[in-house]
Amino acid sequence: MIVGVILVGLVTEAISAIGLYFSLDTHHNFQDLRQRQELRAIVPRDSEDSVDVVHPFMGWCINPQISQGDEVFGKRIPVNRLGFIDDQKSIQQRSSDRLIIGITGGSVA
């Protein structure tokens, strides 16, 4: 069974590497690809893209230094320091009269 899992992992990695190699326009090496990814992560393509920033766990979030938040029902809701549109404290505290429910999805689930 362990040999099967290792074999599936190796085949999956090989197929992914081949697909990545053929999907690149000029067949760059992996160092060039890594440099291009790092450049795109720090330099936005245009002014609209600069509002969103890469987040290590969420994938992306809103840049609180640039975005002014969003207007909902005539009320401006700011972007908190964690990069989410929220007018509450970033970390909610439980109390005897308050129940906090966390809903997760994606890789957290």
Q: In terms of domains, do 1 and 39 share one?
A: yes
For residue 17, give its domain range. 1-43
Under the banding of pLDDT at 50, 70 and 90, the label for residue 37 is confident
Are 83 and 61 in contact by the 8 Å Cβ rule? The answer is yes
Q: Is residue 66 part of a domain?
A: yes
Q: In terms of domains, do 35 and 59 share one?
A: no
Residue 7 has pLDDT above 80, yes or no: yes
How much is the average pLDDT of 40-62? 67
Q: Count H helices and E strands in the chain, helices first.
A: 2, 4
Residue 108 DSSP symbol: G
Q: Is residue 95 part of a domain?
A: no
Alpha helices, H only, 1-109: 2-23, 30-42
Residue 1 neighbours by CB distance under 10 Å: 5
Residue 52 has pLDDT above 90, yes or no: no
Under the banding of pLDDT at 50, 70 and 90, the label for residue 5 is very high
Q: Is residue 97 part of a domain?
A: no
Q: Is residue 24 part of a domain?
A: yes
Q: In terms of domains, do 16 and 33 share one?
A: yes
Q: What is the pLDDT of residue 36?
A: 76
Question: What is the number of domains present in the chain?
Answer: 2
Q: In terms of domains, do 32 and 9 share one?
A: yes
Q: Is residue 50 part of a domain?
A: yes
Q: Is residue 11 part of a domain?
A: yes
Q: Is residue 51 part of a domain?
A: yes
Total-model pTM = 0.39
Q: Is residue 99 part of a domain?
A: no
